[in-house]
Amino acid sequence: MSAISETAFAKVNLALHVRGRLPDGRHRLETLFAFCEDGDELEFEPADDISLDIQGVDPAEIGGDNLVLRAAYALRAATGTQQGAAIRLTKRLPIAAGVGGGSADAAAALRALVRLWSVDPALVGDIAPKLGADVPACLLSMTCRGDGAGDVVSVVQEPDLAGTPILLVNPAVRLSTGDVFAHWDGNDCGPLGDWRLGRNDLQAPALQLVPQISEVLAWLHSRPGGNFVRMSGSGATCFGLFDDAASRDRAAAAVPSGWWHLATRLR
């Protein structure tokens, strides 16, 4: 097979309720995932072994334990194939930003390598949750609800979301998911129902660690044509949904210098 490409679609949590602890110690979540049309880009070519070339960021910033490589080796072990792949990852999403960058990259690798190696796609369902709690949702990359630790996913029909203009904004500050969860106050504020009336229970602890998030949220709230603003995941990326693409694009053009942003649409 010739080279193939796959997009690692950016993830947003339209709502994220932390309900308590699971028996294994992880946090019990109720969340609604949605995915953008854009994200990191990956290319795959047949090769004798597995290799990864990272563009757009210093590879040292990602670290040696890269989820793309872990996904590739796990799939090869599960299938017993002797095939390899030369993988090129072009980073467009910031690292440690609450938009599923690493998880989306791993999910994209699984989707692509199933095609490249012509192996049973059913195997990725067992591999995905072992790579990270967000990977099963990123594997689907469609609007879905996450329960358990976020890794028990079910597709949700939200037809009005598809095509919605969205602007992602990050104050160029990395934020450790583990640190944010460690600062959660432990209070269960209730189940997830209508996502627009819901919450992101990680926003308050994230603000303790990165106060600049409040500036991003306030800035998004002030944009004409915006109709919904929230922080995604464990932060520090926030997002605004807009009435139309023109309003979103005007907001994107006005993003303060030094902040990362991505103007796109929901899938």
Q: What is the pLDDT along the chain (267 residues), one digit of tens a residue?
A: 689 999 999 999 999 999 999 999 999 999 999 999 999 999 999 999 999 999 998 776 776 569 999 999 999 999 999 999 999 999 999 999 999 999 999 999 999 999 999 999 999 999 999 999 999 999 999 999 999 999 999 999 999 999 999 999 999 999 999 999 999 999 999 999 999 999 999 999 999 999 999 999 999 999 999 999 999 999 999 999 999 999 999 999 999 999 999 999 999
What six digits make up the tokens of 150? 């976020």
> How many whole angstroms separate alpha carbon 19 and alpha carbon 201?
9
Asked if the 165-265 domain carries CATH number 3.30.70.890, the reply is yes
> How many whole angstroms separate alpha carbon 166 and alpha carbon 176?
24
Catalytic residue among 105, 134, 151, 201: 134
Catalytic residue among 11, 40, 105, 151: 11
11: annotated active-site residue: yes
> How many whole angstroms separate alpha carbon 15 and alpha carbon 249?
24
Domain definitions of the chain by residue range: 4-155, 165-265
| CATH of the domain spanning 4-155 | 3.30.230.10
134: annotated active-site residue: yes
pTM of the model: 0.95
